[in-house]
Amino acid sequence: MTINKIANGSQLTVALEGRLDTTTAPQLDDELKTALDGITKLDFDLANLEYISSAGLRVLLSAQKVMNKQGEMVVKNANEEIKEIFEVTGFVDILTIE
């Protein structure tokens, strides 16, 4: 998986490419732990994400909890397969998905 971070002041866009699964979720989690300080708007661009597992969902949930305290988080450009995973797991009610 490739993680591209684009910071613009207090806004951070994280573009994910590949598969967010048990193997790659810890890498994203580690990157977010240091990247969210001072961020008030977090965007996840999932245009090039092929797959997300429960481990990946946990990382998104963890990021959402942090952002609930300091700003907002939006998930963008998810493909139909990933949107379906969000629906089945109830994440459509937890995350802001555009």
* Residue at 18 is within a domain: no
Q: What is the pLDDT of residue 55?
A: 97
Q: How far apart are CA 42 and CA 11, in angstroms?
A: 6
* Residue at 19 is within a domain: no
* Residue at 55 is within a domain: yes
Q: What is the pLDDT of residue 32?
A: 96
Q: How many domains does the chain have?
A: 1
Tens digit of pLDDT per residue, the chain (98 long)?
999 999 999 999 999 999 999 999 999 999 999 999 999 999 999 999 999 999 999 999 999 999 999 999 999 999 999 999 999 999 999 999 99
Q: What is the pLDDT of residue 10?
A: 96
Compute the C-alpha angle 90/91/93, nearest 5°. Answer: 80
Q: What is the pLDDT of residue 70?
A: 96
Q: What is the pLDDT of residue 79?
A: 97
Q: How far apart are CA 82 and CA 80, in angstroms?
A: 6
CATH of the domain at 70: 3.30.750.24
Q: What is the pLDDT of residue 90?
A: 96
- DSSP β-ladder status, 2-8 and 11-20: antiparallel
* Residue at 16 is within a domain: no
Nearest to 24 by CA among 3, 40, 7, 46: 3
Q: How far apart are CA 3 and CA 12, in angstroms?
A: 12
Q: Is the pTM of this model over 0.85?
A: yes
* Residue at 17 is within a domain: no
Instruction: Establish how many alpha carbons lie within 13 A of residue 82's alpha carbon, considering only the half-sphere containing its beta carbon.
Output: 27
Domain interval for residue 32: 2-11+26-79+86-97
Distances (CA, A) of 68 to 25, 39, 41, 72: 21, 11, 10, 6
* Residue at 60 is within a domain: yes
* Residue at 31 is within a domain: yes
* Residue at 74 is within a domain: yes
